[in-house]
Every structure is written in C-alpha cells, then in structure tokens.
Amino acid sequence: MNTMNQRITFIGGGNMATSLIAGLLSNNFPADHISVAEPDTEKAKALQQQFSIRTFSDNVEACNEANIIVLAVKPQIMQPVCRGIADTVQNIQPLVISIAAGLLSADISRWLGDDISIVRCMPNTPSLLNAGATGLFANIRVNAEQKQQADQVLSSAGINVWVDKESQLDAVTAVSGSGPAYYFLFMEAMQSAGEQLGLTAEQAKQLTLQTALGAARMAIEADEEPATLRAKVTSKGGTTEQAINTFEANNLREIVMKAMQAANNRASELAELLGKDK
C-alpha cells in the first residue's frame, strides 16, 4: 500500500498537525486525501484556506473514510476523544498514530476498543520547522506496510528513529523530546556570559546562535563522532582547553546525566498518571 493512496485524518489541528500537513503536501501528498477534525471554527477555516483540505467539526465524521488517523490532541483529553471514535475505529480498522506525549499504546488501544494498530511517536518542537527528531514505537498489530506509512507521515517533520521497546520512548523524551530546552538553556548561559565579558546583548546573541548552528551542522555532516570533533578544536594549552577543563572539573557530564534521568523518570510517571481510566 502506497501512503499516497491513503486517506489521512488528523484529530486536532494544532501546531504539530499543521506542520505534518505542510510537510505531506510539500512531498506531493494529495490535499483531497487529508482531513482535519477541529472544533475551533476559525482554526478549521484557516486550515482549509491554507492547505485546501477538508475540515470537520465532528471527529467521527472526519474518521469515516480514513486509513490513517493521527491523534494530535492534548494528552489530557485523549481518553474522551478515543472513546468517542472507538466504534468507528473498530469498524474501519485504520492505522492510528499518536503524537501525544506520555500516553502508552496499550491505554490508547483500550480506549479505542482494543486490537488496534498503533504507532506511538515522541516528536520535538523543531518538528514545527521540519527539523525535528521523532522517536517511534509500533505495537504488535502494526504490519510492515503500516510502519512504512507512519514513517512517511512523520518524516515530513524531520528524522525518525524507531525503538523496539515502548519504554525506550522515555529515553527518547529525555534526549530529543526535552532536549531543545537544554540547548536553549546553554545558549542563554553563553549569551549572558558573553555580555558579562563585554559584548553587547545583540553581539553575544548572534555569536551564540550561529555557533550553535555551525556546531550542529558540523556534527551532522562530519564522518566523525562529536568527541573527536571536540578534541580537534581543543588545542593543548589553548583557550578551548581551559573552558573544557572547567566544565569537566564541575562535573558537566554528571549534571547532564542526572537531568536526563529525571526527565526519563518523569516521562514514565506521566504515562502511568495519564493512562488511568476516568
């Protein structure tokens, strides 16, 4: 089955859904095969005008002809949304893709009436710029064709990394899901330090952001590991070595590990809380 021949319905027309729709259309996915269920009439009208896609105020009506349903609503309202479309989902047996953080595939399947093909995803905010990193997990009912379809849908927002165990999505959350904020914090700290060292706020900001972009591009495009790239720019007795030695002396690696472990643990806790029946 070619994804181009499938009909996709997005439940929720927020930022992530908008980004995925834009990516699909840029990859020549037919607009008349995309539907969005969005109760906000102004938002629905804007989506229709921007993308020439079909919009619905009713979730069930939007799902009737779908081969793929993308659940793009807040985790807190996922349970009533799923229960509301359960009969339709059981009837049409689509691939269901969830981009809601912290909700286990077993809970989503239960709310949809069980025995449903579900791909659970953990995207991050750069997906809004088609520069995202998404972790994906497929439950046991997802076949090879459906996995490929999910890959094509999510790849419109950036790169995809599949994991074999659903629990690994907690680690994905700690690395890429929450990761952009770590870099923003480091950028904040660098900009602030630059100002304290005598640069203007604008000078420090421009130099910090371009340095972050350049370092990321080098790491992506080079054939070497980040550790090797770091070593190459750390001349013995030079300025970079002094900075790196200070980071190491203050246990930067341990701080990062503790922070990401805390994020990992919280992701697991939230999955348990959000998965309880109401």
What structural domains does the chain harbor?
3-171 (3.40.50.720), 179-267 (1.10.3730.10)
The region that residue 114 occupies, defined by phi over 0 for left and psi between -120 and 50 for alpha, beta otherwise, is left
Mean pLDDT, to the nearest integer, of 229-235? 95
Q: Give pLDDT tens digits for 96-130.
A: 999 988 899 999 999 999 999 999 999 999 998 98
Q: Tokens 């020439």 map to which residue? A: 52
Asked if residue 4 has pLDDT above 90, the reply is no
Mean pLDDT taken over the chain: 94
pLDDT of residue 120: 96
Asked if residue 1 has pLDDT above 60, the reply is no
pLDDT category of residue 179 using cuts at 50, 70 and 90 = very high
Q: Give pLDDT tens digits for 189-229.
A: 999 999 999 999 999 999 999 999 999 999 999 999 999 99
Q: In sequence order, which residues have a C-beta less than 8 Å from that of residue 22 and are 6 or more positions away?
A: 51, 130, 156
* pTM for the structure as a whole: 0.90
Rounded distance between C-alpha atoms, residue 71 and residue 74, angstroms: 9
pLDDT category of residue 274 using cuts at 50, 70 and 90 = confident
pLDDT of residue 156: 87
pLDDT category of residue 3 using cuts at 50, 70 and 90 = low
pLDDT of residue 2: 61
Count CB neighbours of 238 within 10 A: 11
Q: Give pLDDT tens digits for 126-143.
A: 998 989 999 999 999 999
- Report residue 48 as tokens: 């229709």
pLDDT of residue 131: 93
Taking alpha carbons only, the member of 76, 112, 77 closest to residue 96 is 112
